């Protein structure tokens, strides 16, 4: 039962503190067994996936709503699942070394495992809503991980930024998924795939695609939402290596790839994805070389890679799909490895600035070799996997049906800059003169070499023997195109234009690396332009939201009860006028057939209301409000609703008791308002009353829906074994509503109690108001 | 503040409270068929404690409640509400479907709606009593 295994992951995350108590420092290793188990399971399923195309694992969850916890395993899910679980193993081992002796290591493990499970669920989810839930879970766990060092202002700010951007996108994604469900009539990916109707022809196609694209672009840091990813580097390095290069940021790419067979290929899809992807690719590569911080360099080069993947999906030709798979694998392997190398450098030298490091080759020989090979893959040098990815990308761009010239130029320019980035990371810290660093450099421990070492070797092995991954490639391309494919990877593509571009870009990239120190001051000249960039837009938006809420709180919620009531009633009047007088004409038809006692009760009610407003005695007002309450209770009883009557009576009694308690604490009865204000308030109150009366009369005469009471009366005894329908509704028919109300009641009570206790404390000491520093 | 200790109120409260509590349990148990139910019963029980508080003050009422803090009752009530949802799972029915069992010896109809109703009862009782109690405690500290 894979579902249980995935859910067990959340339980594992919750039990991390216990594990830490038992296993201490070895916990990281223990936890690494979990992703290892998932990876083994995936390898076991591989033959079945290759044979059948896709496997379904279904588990009914809310059958009445048609929601099931269903997992679908096809080539694409398999590829992503393997990346998540295999890299997850190494990241956990690595984190154990990197965060050794960190007091908050358990907290880190909780969030990381929870993220791993969510990400795994996301790529396996078959149900659209399950997919959405896992999607949001990755956003939340990512927030916790970016803000792991929560005493650091920058980390908090970056975590919030990442959360806002991805969750805002998540909102759009939800709308998109709902539209997708409505348009296709299915709520599971496998059913959507099995259905033959063409969604591209559907009237909702454009809105649903736009919503889905916003969700995917925010998550995968596409231009103009790319700014949150480099800022997310405030996270500890294992997090950057895992979430912000290999897995989470690829969730958006995953979604696009998943929906490509159903939604791809239209003009809108091709235009938006190729252009946005191409732009993101170039922006990432261009912005990368401005930085000397090794993590920022890698982050921007990740933005570049994400852009390239989006672009390939946009191009959409079979060649582009093969390129997508090769590039995805290559990128996850070398980028995960390089991030871990960056962490090792930071760990042993105490700085992240590559210009402050030098000559480390003799001190950190193993790290330097790993960095060298991983960077070769990043640069796309044969015989590494990165070379295959880059070659195929060039070929795909050359074979694009639209925007061919633009995409080729962007890909070429990005490749040059990426090669420079690779050279900076692999050569700068390790060669040249020895520089003094904050810490005395030493070779990283085994736990921090194992992961990057294995990932880099995989890059090399898969580059030399690409046939190993051929079956996986074919299966993934099959799920990307929707038709069975026998695609394979090979190192040598013959002498062609793509190879020529590769060679020229290598030469030019190395030139950029050589001139890097001279280029940087010139690149700094574009910095003022950043003031108009998307990040500045984000900052301005946040600032204005804060300003707006300050303003609206001052105006609408200024702490005076009378003001709140005024605002609420005015809103109500607006809504009622709109619906009764503008949208529907008032329909009044009733017969005056009243009993004597009914008139009496109504009279008492009116008298009570009148007296309550006019009296100058507070006790008198309380009593007359009480009279009104009792009259209402009487009305309920007349119209044979004993339960309501009793409830009203009891609530009235308790209200009077509470009022009596509060009464003694109130200041003397004084008049706050001028005559004019009283007239205004009277008018508003009168209008509201009249409109509500009109509403009830209108509602009484319109029978829009068949009343549900008949069903309840008939079925309460045979189905729910109860003759008291009110109670049956409360505890059986509508038990979920009641449960919700119980929580509301509990919250209200806790609020009242807390407020009273707080007030009671602050009245005794001068430290009444503790100001929370706001770091926004 | 209301000065506690008038003879009539004290005597009445002493006798009325157990009766009211008993009545509230009666309302709670018969609620499914006759007027009553958890909400009403909870209000009646809260009324009983409020009356007692008016007569003897907060600390005496806390003494009657012994170890039980009204705030805990809220939590227990919510827990029972949640717990009553679960049994349907075990018989393979949809979430929240009511389950009925007959306890053989006393011939009593036990059910998840009853558990749920007891949850409502405790939550209402805890919420109202807790609010009144803290209101009166604030009052007590006033000079």
Please give the full DSSP string across A133-150, using - where no structure is assigned.
HHHHHHHHHHHHHHTSST
The residue in chain B having the minimum alpha-carbon distance to the alpha carbon of residue A663 is B1
Of the pLDDT bands very low, low, confident and very high (cuts 50, 70, 90), residue B107 is low
Looking at A289-317, list the stretches that DSSP marks H as alpha helix, in order from N- to C-terminal side. 294-315
Q: What is the mean pLDDT of chain B?
A: 83
Of A318, A338, A342, the closest CA to residue A330 belongs to A338
A749 vs B120: CB contact, 8 Å cut-off?
no
Q: Report the residue from A647, A736, A745 with minimal CB separation from B127.
A: A745
A654 vs B43: CB contact, 8 Å cut-off?
yes
Q: What angle do CA A332, A110, A445 make, to 5 degrees?
A: 60
A749 vs B95: CB contact, 8 Å cut-off?
no
pLDDT, position A1: 66
Q: Report the residue from A661, A749, A750 with minimal CB separation from B139.
A: A661
d(CA B33, CA B114): 12
The residue in chain A having the minimum alpha-carbon distance to the alpha carbon of residue B114 is A731
Of A166, A178, A319, the closest CA to residue A252 belongs to A166
Q: A741: distance to nearest CA of chain B, Å?
A: 9
Question: Which residues 46-85 of B are in CB contact (within 8 Å) with A?
Answer: 46-47, 50, 54, 71, 74-75, 77-78, 81-82, 84-85
Contact A467, A488 (CB under 8 A): yes
CA A486 to chain centre: 36
Element (H, E) at A550: helix A534-556
Which portions of chain A are predicted below pLDDT 50? Answer: 760-761, 763-776
pLDDT, position B1: 46
d(CA A709, CA A726): 10
pLDDT, position B24: 93
B98 vs A720: CB contact, 8 Å cut-off?
yes
Residue A184, judged by CB atoms within 10 A of its CB (0-12, 13-18, 19+), counts as buried
Element (H, E) at A719: helix A709-720
Residue A418, judged by CB atoms within 10 A of its CB (0-12, 13-18, 19+), counts as buried
A750 vs B74: CB contact, 8 Å cut-off?
yes
Does this model's pTM top 0.80? no
pLDDT, position A67: 66
d(CA A13, CA A108): 10
Q: Report the residue from A646, A661, A742 with minimal CB separation from B40.
A: A646
By three-state DSSP, how is residue A436 classified?
Answer: coil
pLDDT tens digits, residue range A730-739?
888 888 889 9
Half-sphere exposure of A684 (CA within 13 A, CB side): 17
Q: Report the residue from A647, A654, A722 with minimal CB separation from B32.
A: A722
* Residues facing residue A62 across a β-bridge: A67
Higher pLDDT, B10 or B95: B10
Which ipTM score applies to this complex?
A: 0.89
Check whether the bond before A573 is cis (ω within 30° of 0). no
The residue in chain B having the minimum alpha-carbon distance to the alpha carbon of residue A723 is B33
Work out the number of other CB atoms within 10 angstroms of the CB of residue A594.
9
Pairing of strands A71-73, A67-68: unpaired
pLDDT at B36 over 90: no
pLDDT, position A216: 93
Element (H, E) at B103: strand B100-103
Q: Report the residue from A643, A657, A759 with minimal CB separation from B35.
A: A643
Question: Which residues 83-142 of B are in CB contact (within 8 Å) with A?
Answer: 84-85, 94-96, 98, 100, 109, 111, 113-114, 116-117, 119-120, 123-124, 126-128, 130-132, 134-139, 141-142
pLDDT, position A768: 39
d(CA A307, CA A301): 10
């Amino acid at each position: 039962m894979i579902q249980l295994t995935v859910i067990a992951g959340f339980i594992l995350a919750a039990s991390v503190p216990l594990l830490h108590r038992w296993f201490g420092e070895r916990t990281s290793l223990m936890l690494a067994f979990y992703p290892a188990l998932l990876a083994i399971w995936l390898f076991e399923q591989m033959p079945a996936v290759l044979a059948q195309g896709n496997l379904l694992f279904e588990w009914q969850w809310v059958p009445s709503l048609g929601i099931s916890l269903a997992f679908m395993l096809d080539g694409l899910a398999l590829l992503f699942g393997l990346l998540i679980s295999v890299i997850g193993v190494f990241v956990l081992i690595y984190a154990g070394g990197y965060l050794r002796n960190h007091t908050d290591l358990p907290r880190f493990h909780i969030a990381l495992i929870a993220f791993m499970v969510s990400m795994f669920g996301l790529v396996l989810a078959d149900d659209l809503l399950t997919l959405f839930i896992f999607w949001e879970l990755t956003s939340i766990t990512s927030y916790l991980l970016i803000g792991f060092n929560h005493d650091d202002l920058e980390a908090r700010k970056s975590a919030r930024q990442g959360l806002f951007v991805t969750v805002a996108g998540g909102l759009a994604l939800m709308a998109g998924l709902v539209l997708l469900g409505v348009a296709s009539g299915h709520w599971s990916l496998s059913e959507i795939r099995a259905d033959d109707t063409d969604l591209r022809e559907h009237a909702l196609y454009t809105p649903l695609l736009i919503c889905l694209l916003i969700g995917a672009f925010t998550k995968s840091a596409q231009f103009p939402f790319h700014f949150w990813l480099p800022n997310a580097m405030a996270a500890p390095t294992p997090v950057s290596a895992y979430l912000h290069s290999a897995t989470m940021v690829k969730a958006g790419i995953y979604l696009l790839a998943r929906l490509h067979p159903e939604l791809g290929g239209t003009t809108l899809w091709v235009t938006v994805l190729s252009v946005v992807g191409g732009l993101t690719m170039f922006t990432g590569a261009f912005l990368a070389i401005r930085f000397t911080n090794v993590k920022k360099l890698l982050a921007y080069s990740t933005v570049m890679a994400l852009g390239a993947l989006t672009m390939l999906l946009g191009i959409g030709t079979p060649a582009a799909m093969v390129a997508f798979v090769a590039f995805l694998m290559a990128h996850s392997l070398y980028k995960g490895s390089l991030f871990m190398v960056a962490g090792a450098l930071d760990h042993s030298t105490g700085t992240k600035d590559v210009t402050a490091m030098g000559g480390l080759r003799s001190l950190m020989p193993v790290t330097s070799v790993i960095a060298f090979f991983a960077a070769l893959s990043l640069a796309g040098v044969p015989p590494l996997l990165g070379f295959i990815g880059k070659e195929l990308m060039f070929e795909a761009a050359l074979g694009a049906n639209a925007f061919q010239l633009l995409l080729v130029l962007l890909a070429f320019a990005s490749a040059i800059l990426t090669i420079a980035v690779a050279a900076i990371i692999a050569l700068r810290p390790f060669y040249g003169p020895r520089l003094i660093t904050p810490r005395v450099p030493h070779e990283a421990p085994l736990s921090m070499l194992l992961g990057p070492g294995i990932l880099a070797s995989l890059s090399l092995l898969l580059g030399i023997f690409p046939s190993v991954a051929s079956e996986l490639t074919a299966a993934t391309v099959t799920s990307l195109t929707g038709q069975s494919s026998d695609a394979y990877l090979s190192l040598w593509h013959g002498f062609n234009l793509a190879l020529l571009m590769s060679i020229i870009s290598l030469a030019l990239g190395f030139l950029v690396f050589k001139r890097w120190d001279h280029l940087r001051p010139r690149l700094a000249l574009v910095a003022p332009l950043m003031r108009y960039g998307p990040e500045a837009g984000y900052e301005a938006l946040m600032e204005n939201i804060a300003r707006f809420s300050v303003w609206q709180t001052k105006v609408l919620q200024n702490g005076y009860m009378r003001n709140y009531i005024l605002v609420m009633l005015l809103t109500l009047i607006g809504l009622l006028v709109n619906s009764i007088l503008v949208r529907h004409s008032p329909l009044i038809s009733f017969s005056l057939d009243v009993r004597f006692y009914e008139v009496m009760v109504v009279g008492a009610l009116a008298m009570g209301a009148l007296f309550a407003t006019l009296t100058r005695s507070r006790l008198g007002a309380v009593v007359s409000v009480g009279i009104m309450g009792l009259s209402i209770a009487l009305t309920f009883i007349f119209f044979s609703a004993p339960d309501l009557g009793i409830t009203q009576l009891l609530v009235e009694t308790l209200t009077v008791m509470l009022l009596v308690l509060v009464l003694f604490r109130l200041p003397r009865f004084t008049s706050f308002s001028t005559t004019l204000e009283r007239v205004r308030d009277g008018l508003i109150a009168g209008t509201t009353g009249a409109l509500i009366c009109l509403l009830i009369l209108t509602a009484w005469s319109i029978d829009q829906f068949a009343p549900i009471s008949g069903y309840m009366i008939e079925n309460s005894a045979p189905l729910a074994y109860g003759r008291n329908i009110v109670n049956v509704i409360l505890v059986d028919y509508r038990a979920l509503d009641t449960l919700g109300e119980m929580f509301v009641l509990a919250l209200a009570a806790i609020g009242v109690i807390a407020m009273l206790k707080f007030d009671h404390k602050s009245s005794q000491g001068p430290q009444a108001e503790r100001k929370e520093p706001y770091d926004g | 503040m209301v000065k506690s200790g008038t003879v009539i109120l004290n005597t009445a409260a002493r006798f009325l409270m157990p009766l009211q509590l008993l009545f509230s349990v009666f309302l709670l148990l018969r609620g499914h068929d006759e007027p009553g139910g958890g909400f009403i019963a909870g209000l009646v029980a809260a009324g009983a404690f409020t009356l007692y508080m008016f007569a003897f003050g907060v600390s005496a009422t806390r003494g009657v409640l012994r170890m039980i803090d009204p705030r805990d009752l809220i939590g227990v009530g919510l827990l029972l509400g949640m717990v009553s949802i679960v049994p349907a799972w075990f018989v393979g029915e949809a979430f929240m479907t009511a389950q009925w069992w007959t306890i053989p010896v006393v011939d009593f109809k036990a059910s998840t709606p009853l558990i749920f109703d007891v949850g409502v009862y405790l939550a209402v009782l805890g919420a109202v009593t807790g609010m009144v109690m803290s209101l009166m405690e604030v009052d007590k500290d006033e000079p």
